[in-house]
Chain A
Amino acid sequence: MTVATESKPASPNPSGWRPSAPVAGEGITAPTVTGNRALMLEEPLLFEIGSRGQTGVDFEARPGGSSRLGGLERQGVDLPGLSEPEAVRHYTRLSRQNYAIDLGLFPLGSCTMKHNPRLNEKMARLPGFADIHPLQPQETVQGALELINKLAFWLIDLTGMHGVAMSPKAGAHGELCGLLCIRAALEARGDARQVVLVPESAHGTNPATAAFCGYRVENIPATKAGRVDLEALKARLGPDVAAVMITNPNTCGLFEPDMKAISDAVHAAGAFVYCDGANFNAIVGKVRPGDLGVDAMHINLHKTFSTPHGGGGPGSGPVVLSEALAPYGPLPFAAKFPDGSYKLVEEETAGDEHPDAFGRMVAFHGQMGMFTRALTYILSHGADGLAQVAEDSVLNANYILRSLEDVLDAPFAVSGPCMHEAIFSDKGFAEGFSTIDVAKALIDEGFHPMTMYFPLVVHGAMLVEPTETESRANLDQFIAALRSIADRAKAGDQALKAAPIYAPRRRLDETQAARKPVLTYDNPAPDGSSTGLGAHFGGG
């Protein structure tokens, strides 16, 4: 493999250190016996190294006796175990094949990959929060209810809203909660509206949620400046429109300057405004969605309030609600009494205290473990720190925008500052080169790629969200790397097509994965017998 070393960025390393010898992997063709390369360790599947007789736990033996299992005793389950040292090594080795915020800049637009403070983790593990049961009598969980209530009031104050439903399990679940509130409010006034309007640039969850709630989804066009087309929206509003779902700041990284006018028009037409709060990080402490006329907005605690993403969850998506929608929020919720005690309003008392609630969205009270982390983060920053979070996240994004707009097409750069993320397109790349080649080359430079091909309204979109937890030196290094890669993409450097070459894996064949899905491991069976219940599926 030849590598275009001469096109490496000029001085990207703040320490001044440059590798004087070839970096790992470069020019090396000799395979090792193990397949490992020093610290890059290959790890087999659990099913290839474990065995059914091995275990990493010890239990005291209990006397037998007649079972009360209803005559349904199980005869074996094919689950291999590992001893503790083997298990620690298995997962530690696997962990090293992951990129993470703890390793470097992770500029996934719209995903807000900011630093996850370890104090959050420590607080969530206090036994008083981690080791309490959701159905414990309420007098034994007053501190937990206090915590939920306290976080709820912060969320209400930060958004200028009237109420909050805490139980939704993630952003998309929160969207569902918000739309269910809207539908319940409309039904309460006997108004059966069928349409939800969604901008073309919306997250895919928006139309999926609206469709789930039984609504017909229609698109609203965007202007050339990347904003909702207010006139087109006004023209479409009518008695059949239940709600408009808007992301603000939007997925192009821009604030919707007409937001208040949009809300006024939507309300005048008898409909509600749902705001996708995925990008709240940009405006927390600076703008209150309630002031913009929003009726419902979910808040991704794992984005704005720094709870860890954990490789894809768990999320947490409380939904703040306007006065018109608050009566319809789901059960249960935590309430505070004048005597200072807290209470969980559940089915038993809901009839008196919350008669219009539409029932539960989840079995228990929501993502308590995420609430603890989010409140820890909020108290750490305080009202002043949160406003600084928004300012720094916006400043960092604008710094990236203005440092790259001369080498990458930035379709909305002329219309003014961006918010917390900067968007670029693949315009100007050599024939056959696209956003994915830039993204994969960033991997070789030691960065996680930006969000690719989203939003759909920008061709070959590259959505870069640095977040406020990156230093200027980190941004400069990233900018240097991306400038170099952009130049190579414009010049048609074929080496880009091979990227990444230094990652644990080269580009993976996603087509094969989808065409012949292998979703579970199938034990090899030399004698032809079936070895487990997890039957093999598809090809391979």
Chain B
Amino acid sequence: MRYLPLSDADRSAMLEKVGAKSANDLFRDVPQGLLLKEPIDGLPLHASEMAVERELSAMARKNMVAGDVPFFLGCGAYKHHVPATVDHIIQRGEFLTAYTPYQPEIAQGTLQVLFEFQTQVARLLGCEVANASMYDGSTACWEAIGMARRITRKSKAIISAGLHPHYVSVCKTMAKFTGDTLETELPGLEAATDAERLIASIDGETSCVVVQYPDILGRITDLTPIAEAAQAKGALLIAVVTEPVALGAIKSPGEMGADIVVGEGQSIGVGLQFGGPYVGLFATREKYVRQMPGRLAGETVDAEGKRGFVLTLSTREQHIRREKATSNICTNSGLCALAFSIHMTLLGEKGLTGLAQLNHARAREAAERLGAIPGVRLVNDSYFNEFTLELPVEARPAVHAMVEKGVLGGVSLGRLYPCADSLKNGIVVAVTEVVSDADIDALEAALMEVCK
């Protein structure tokens, strides 16, 4: 038991000190018959580090590793190159094994990082303030709808057809219990987004309009007219960014008038990890900060007048407000926020714009070649590093057929919208800086084969 420092001699001496006859004697409040005297039946006993490593490695080997094959999956999680520095720093014990910075005098490292993170996120999303992170993009999206309800005192949310369907699912789950009504539609395989429908749908009952940017099919739409239309009716515009690298190339939602901007920060500094942990981004206008969920780090001074940072505005939070809190959220995604912040610091404006341009250039090359395959149609007029193709065949089996050829070729819309017949030939292809010329060759060849 390599993680337990007490020796049997320690245990005996300590039991004597506390006046107990045995360890089980300390559990005397447990009702008779319910205290387990032996290890639970059918479960293995302790194992050496080497044995555990062997068992985990065997499971890991059964998975197809993104970095080992031509890889084109996106739709809310993206494969980017993460500099080696990031993973080194987040494994420093002082960051890895610290708790929530409730004792600021000995947590300035975490607190200053969170203050820097908030500033980076606010600037990237084009907003005045950002919080210290949420669980992920989908839960941040839901929290934004709840925040809009509190601000506007209305409860009808108009959801763009371009919002990630899993995000819609999360919002629907929550709305069942809060009484919000959500208006949603399926996307169409066309270049135009549903911006006009959204604008036409806004009425006096609307709390918010929720628009993903770029959207689930990779399309980019100008948010300015939607923001103006929403605000004219007393509603808020919530913009959702699932690929923050895009904001190194395209205007930020805040610049276009979004009131709340949420996002999935995974692309920057956080690996794919089969879906989590990720890091939710949440930014808004300064006037709404007291309605914002989640932790906030703020600047102050210590007893000697030195600058320092603390968690602040906690009167919004559950440990103070209990049932009146803005959210029940208690953790943030601290270590992932740190990874995001380190990566963003290494990038800076110069690196971020370079990265974004490289992604866009790669995606253009791929889109032009794949869109030229006979029978294949490029749906998008606009895109950043992700676009949708309409295949002459159903996309879901095509994706599986490409796996047989060792290519992870994209996300079929059949996977995301299993009941939508109109979308079944659609496939979303993401092309980031990690994609090589040979990878594009492989995808092109595989697609040609499956589209025959």
Per the 8 Å Cβ criterion, residues 172-216 of A in contact with B are: 172-173, 175-176, 180, 183, 203-205, 207-214
In the complex formed, the residue of B with least CB distance to A300 is: B331
What A residues does B306 contact at CB under 8 A? 505-506
Please determine whether B136 and A363 come into contact, CB atoms closer than 8 angstroms.
Answer: yes
B177:A309 contact, CB within 8 angstroms = no
Q: Are the C-beta atoms of A311 and B338 separated by less than 8 Å?
A: yes
User: If A309-B100, A507-B303 touch, does A133 touch B66 (CB 8 Å cutoff)?
Assistant: yes
B276 near A362 (CB under 8 angstroms)? Answer: yes
B330 at the interface (CB under 8 A from A): yes
CB atoms of B318 and A208 under 8 A apart: yes
Taking a contact as CB atoms under 8 Å apart, the answer to whether B408 and A136 are in contact is yes
How far apart are the CA atoms of A157 and B43 in the complex, in Å?
8
A212 to B321 alpha-carbon distance, docked (Å) = 13
A103 CB, nearest partner CB in chain B, Å: 7
Q: Is A55 in contact with B348, judged by CB distance below 8 angstroms? A: yes
Q: Determine how close the nearest CB of chain A comes to the CB of B298; give it in whole angstroms.
A: 4
Known A142-B63, A310-B338, A519-B289; contact A370-B139, beta-carbon cutoff 8 A: no
Segment from A9-17, A229-237, A391-399, A481-489 that makes contact with B: A391-399
Known: A368-B275, A508-B308. A123 touches B250 (CB 8 A): no
In the assembled complex, the Cα of A52 lies from the Cα of B358 at a distance in Å of: 18
Report whether B273 and A129 are in contact in the complex, using a CB–CB cutoff of 8 Å.
yes
The reply to whether the CB of A285 lies closer than 8 angstroms to some CB of chain B is yes
Complex-state Cα separation, A505 to B305, whole angstroms = 10
> Digit string of B342-375 for contact with A (CB within 8 Å is 1, else 0)?
1011111111111101101110100100000000
**Does A308 touch B at the CB level, under 8 Å?**
yes
Identify which of A129, A150, A384, A398 contacts B63 (C-beta below 8 A): A129
CB neighbours (8 Å) of B308 from chain A are 505, 508
Q: In the complex, which residues 291-324 of chain B have their Cβ closer than 8 Å to any Cβ of chain A?
A: 295-304, 306, 308-310, 312-315, 317-324
By a CB distance below 8 angstroms, the chain A residues around B91 are 121
Q: Inside 8 A of B327's CB, which chain A residues have their CB?
A: 208, 212
State the Cβ distance, A291 to closest chain B Cβ, in Å.
5
Q: Which of B164, B275, B298, B400 contacts A518 (CB 8 A)?
A: B298
Please, how many angstroms separate the alpha-carbon atoms of A363 and B380 in the complex?
24
Closest B residue to A302 using CB positions: B331
Residue B181, interface by CB 8 Å: no
Contact partners of B358 in chain A: CB under 8 A: 59-60, 62
Contact with A along B317-341 (1 / 0, CB 8 A): 1111111110111111111111000
Which chain A residues border B42 with CB–CB below 8 Å? 157
A135-B75, A382-B47 are known contacts. Are A87 and B328 too (CB-CB below 8 A)? no
- How many interface residues does B have (CB within 8 Å)? 214
Q: A98-B106, A128-B60, A173-B139 are in contact. Are A358 and B176 (CB under 8 A)?
A: yes
Contact A56 B346, beta carbon cutoff 8 Å: yes
- B34, B289, B384: the one contacting A287 at CB < 8 Å is B34
What B residues does A18 contact at CB under 8 A?
none
The residue on A at minimum CB distance from B286 is A537
Would you list which residues of chain B between 147 and 183 have a CB under 8 Å from chain A?
A: 164, 166-167, 169-170, 172-173, 176-179
Residue B249 lies at the interface, judged by CB distance under 8 Å to chain A: yes
Given contacts A143-B62, A439-B103, contact A204 B322 (CB under 8 A): yes
Q: Which of A67, A111, A127, A383 contacts B39 (CB 8 A)?
A: A383
Among the stretches A76-84, A267-275, A318-326, A423-431, the one at the interface with B is A76-84
Is A449 located at the chain interface by the 8 A CB criterion? yes
Cβ contact within 8 Å between B1 and A388: yes
Known: A55-B351, A500-B106. A134 touches B272 (CB 8 A): yes
Looking at the assembled complex, report how far the CB atom of A402 sits from the nearest CB atom of chain B, in whole angstroms. 5
Asked if A131 is an interface residue, CB under 8 A from chain B, the answer is yes
On whether the beta carbons of B289 and A517 are closer than 8 Å, the reply is yes
| B76: interface (CB < 8 Å) | yes
Q: Are A285 and B249 in contact (CB under 8 A)?
A: no
Within the complex, which residue of B52, B130, B273 is in contact with A369, where a contact is CB–CB below 8 Å? B273
Residues in A with CB closer than 8 Å to B64 are: 132, 136, 140-141
Q: Does A3 contact B (CB under 8 A)?
A: no
| Inter-chain contact A517/B312, CB cutoff 8 Å | yes
Q: Which residues of B contact A135 (CB under 8 A)?
A: 73, 75-77, 411, 415-416
B39–A311 touching, CB < 8 Å: no
Residue A37, interface by CB 8 Å: no
A contact residues around B34 at 8 Å (CB): 260, 287-288, 291-292
Q: Which residues of A contact B172 (CB under 8 A)?
A: 359
Assuming the contacts A126-B57, A254-B29, A288-B36, asked whether A362 and B135 have C-beta atoms less than 8 A apart, the reply is yes
B89 within 8 A of A: yes
Chain B residues near A176 (CB-CB < 8 A): 328
User: Are the CB atoms of A147 and B59 closer together than 8 Å?
Assistant: yes
Contact pattern, B 34-56, Cβ under 8 Å of A = 1, otherwise 0? 11100110111111010111011
Question: A479 vs B187: C-alpha distance in the bound complex, in angstroms?
Answer: 63
Judge whether A69 and B220 touch: CB under 8 Å.
yes
Q: How far is the CA of A205 from the CA of B120 in the complex (A)?
A: 29
B433 within 8 A of A: yes
Name the residue on A nearest B133 (C-beta): A313
Complex CA–CA separation, A291 to B52 (angstroms): 30
Chain A residues whose C-beta falls within 8 Å of the C-beta of B75 in the assembled complex = 135
Query: B248 in the interface, Cβ–Cβ < 8 Å?
Result: yes
- Which residue of chain B has the shortest Cβ distance to A79 in the bound complex? B349
CA distance A288 to B10 in the complex (A): 27
Given that A70-B382, A135-B411, A311-B110 are contacting pairs, would A285 and B40 also be in contact in the complex, using a CB cutoff of 8 Å? yes
Contact of A113 with B123 in the complex, beta carbons under 8 Å: no
B223 to chain A: closest residue by CB: A72
Asked if B10 and A472 sit within 8 Å, CB to CB, the answer is yes
**A223 part of interface (Cβ distance < 8 Å):** no
Q: How far is the CA of A316 from the CA of B318 in the complex (A)?
A: 18
**Would A380 and B323 count as touching, CB distance under 8 A?**
no
A534 touches B123 (CB 8 A): yes
The answer, yes or no, to whether B388 is at the interface (CB within 8 Å) is: no
User: Does chain A have a CB within 8 A of B184?
Assistant: no
Q: Are A512 and B300 in contact (CB under 8 A)?
A: yes
Residue B211 at the chain A interface, CB threshold 8 Å: no
Judged by a CB distance under 8 angstroms, whether A65 is at the interface is yes
B contact residues around A403 at 8 Å (CB) = 17
Minimal beta-carbon separation of A515 from chain B (angstroms): 10
Assess A119 versus B49: contact at CB under 8 Å? Given A255-B30, A381-B1. Answer: yes
Chain B residue nearest to A475 (CB atoms) is: B14
Binary flags per residue of B102-118, CB closer than 8 Å to A gives 1, else 0: 11111111101101101
Known: A208-B323, A367-B276, A376-B52. A59 touches B433 (CB 8 A): yes
The answer to whether B139 and A362 touch across the interface, beta carbons within 8 angstroms, is: yes
B98 located at the interface, meaning its Cβ lies under 8 Å from any Cβ of chain A in the complex = yes
The answer to whether A137 touches B403, judged by C-beta atoms less than 8 angstroms apart, is: yes
Q: Are B6 and A472 in contact (CB under 8 A)?
A: yes
A316 to chain B, nearest CB (A): 7
Contact of A512 with B173 in the complex, beta carbons under 8 Å? no
A354 an interface residue at 8 Å Cβ cutoff? no
Residues of chain A with a CB closer than 8 A to B408's CB: 133, 136-137, 140
Contact (Cβ within 8 A) A45 B400:
no
Q: Do A383 and B44 touch across chains, with their CB atoms under 8 A apart?
A: yes
Residues of B contacting A363 in the complex (Cβ-Cβ under 8 angstroms): 76, 136-138, 164, 166-167, 170, 264, 275
Q: Nearest A residue to B43 by beta-carbon distance?
A: A383
Task: Give the CA-CA distance A200 to B316 in the complex, in Å.
Answer: 20
Asked if residues B98 and A100 are in contact (CB atoms below 8 Å), the reply is yes
Which of B116, B126, B335 sits near A314, CB closer than 8 Å? B335
Which one of A81, A127, A130, A368 lies within 8 Å of B350 (CB-CB)? Answer: A81
Q: Are B332 and A312 in contact (CB under 8 A)?
A: yes
Task: Report if A132-B123 is in contact (Cβ < 8 Å); known contacts: A119-B52, A383-B39.
Answer: no
13 new A-B pairs (CB below 8 Å) besides A146-B62, A363-B264? Answer: A55-B348, A57-B355, A68-B381, A92-B92, A127-B65, A141-B274, A171-B330, A208-B325, A217-B323, A313-B332, A370-B276, A508-B308, A519-B115
Provide a sorted-by-A list of 5 A–B residue pairs whose CB atoms are within 8 angstroms: A311-B334, A313-B135, A382-B44, A395-B15, A505-B108
Return the 9 tightest CB-CB contacts between A and B, nearest first.
A81-B348, A128-B60, A364-B275, A310-B335, A102-B93, A143-B62, A134-B275, A70-B382, A314-B277
